[in-house]
Amino acid sequence: MNAVITLARKEVREAVNSTWLIAYAVLFTLLALGLSYLGERNLGSVGFENFSRTTASLLNLCLLLAPLAALTLGSGAIAGDRERGTLTYLLSQPLDRWELLIGKYLGLAASIALATTLGFGVAGVVIALQTSAMDLGTYLLFLALVLALIVVMTGIGLALSVVSKSRVQALGLAMLVWFVVAFVFDLVLIGMVSATSMHGGGLLAALLLNPIEIVRVLAIIQLEPDLQILGPFGSYLLERVGRTNATVILSAALLMWMALPVTVAAWLFESRED
C-alpha cells in the first residue's frame, strides 16, 4: 500500500508543478464567475446570481469540460510511461502491477479533483460575497457530482491508456469516447425515443449506460423540485420511480461506474507484455 501512496503523491506533485493544473483551475473559476454574472445580465440586472442558478448554468458546461480533462489526462498515464521508457523502470521496482495502476489512478483523479475544487471554491467565495441568497449545500452537492464524474472518466482514460500502443492512440481513443458520451449518446437516445416506443424504464436503463447522463439527471433531481426540465421522463421519475428511489438507483450506477473502469484497467494491465 506504501507504493500506491508514493505513486499517487508523485502524480499530484507533478501535476501541481505543471501548468495544466493552474490553467484548468483558472478556467473553471472564470467560467463559474462569468456564467453567474452573464446569467443575471440576461435577466435584466447586471450582477451575480445566487448559487442555485449558477450551478444550473454551470451544469452543462461542467459535463463537457470535466470528462474531457479527466479522459485526456487518464489516457496519457500508462501510454506516456510506456512511450518514455519509464514503465519498465517503474515495474522493475518491488511493486505489483495493480499498485502502479491504482497509484497513478488515485494521483491523477486527485489532481484533477483538486484543480476543479480550487476553481469552484474561488468562484463560490466570490459569489457568496456578492449575493444575499445562498444555497451552499446545492453548490457543494453539485461539486461532489462533478468530482465523482472525474473519478469515473479518469478510470476510463486509464483503461484506454493500458490498451493503447502509443500516447497518440490513447489520446485519440479518449477524444472518441468523450465525443460519444458527451454528444453522440444524447442524439442516439433522442432518435431511439422518437423512433420507438421507448419510455420511462427503458430510458432510465439507457441513461445508466452513460455516466455523464447519470450525473446530469442526479444534479437535476437535486436542483429542480418538479423535474419539468426532463419532460415526460421527469414525470415518470417522480410518479413511478419516486425521487428517493431514482436518486438511489442513479447513485448506485455512478458508484458502479467509479469502480468498473479502473477494475477493467487493472485486469488488462496485469496481462500486458510491457
155-160-165-171 Cα dihedral, nearest 10 degrees: -100
**Pure H helices in the chain:** 2-17, 19-42, 51-84, 86-91, 97-130, 136-163, 167-179, 185-195, 200-207, 211-223, 232-236, 243-270
Give residues in contact with other proteins (CB under 8 A): 2-3, 6-7, 10, 14, 17, 84-86, 88-96, 273-274
As measured in angstroms, the least distance from the Cβ of 78 to other proteins is: 13
CB of 10 to other proteins, least distance (A): 6
* Shorter beta-carbon distance to other proteins: residue 103 or 124: 103
The smaller minimum CB distance to other proteins, of residues 96 and 239, is found at 96
Q: Whole-number minimum distance, CB 274 to other proteins, in Å?
A: 7
**Residue (239 or 270) nearer to other proteins, CB:** 270
In the block, residue with C-alpha cell 469502480: 259
In this structure, are residues 196 and 163 in contact, taking their beta carbons and an 8 Å threshold?
A: no
The smaller minimum CB distance to other proteins, of residues 85 and 225, is found at 85
CB of 192 to other proteins, least distance (A): 41
Q: How far is the CB of 24 from other proteins (least distance, A)?
A: 18
Cell output for 143: 461539486
How many Cα neighbours within 13 Å face the side chain of 125? 6
φ/ψ (deg, to 5) at 43 = -85, -5
For residue 19, the minimal CB distance to other proteins (Å) is 12
Task: Specify whether the CB–CB gap between 36 and 57 falls below 8 A.
Answer: yes
User: Smallest distance from the beta carbon of 236 to other proteins, in angstroms?
Assistant: 51
Residue 226 or 273 with smaller CB distance to other proteins: 273
CB closer to other proteins out of 22 and 91 = 91
Of 87 and 149, nearer to other proteins (C-beta) is 87
Longest dimension (CA), the chain: 63
Any idea which residue has 518514455 for its cell? 84
Tell whether the torsion through CA atoms of 16, 99, 71 and 79 is positive or negative: positive
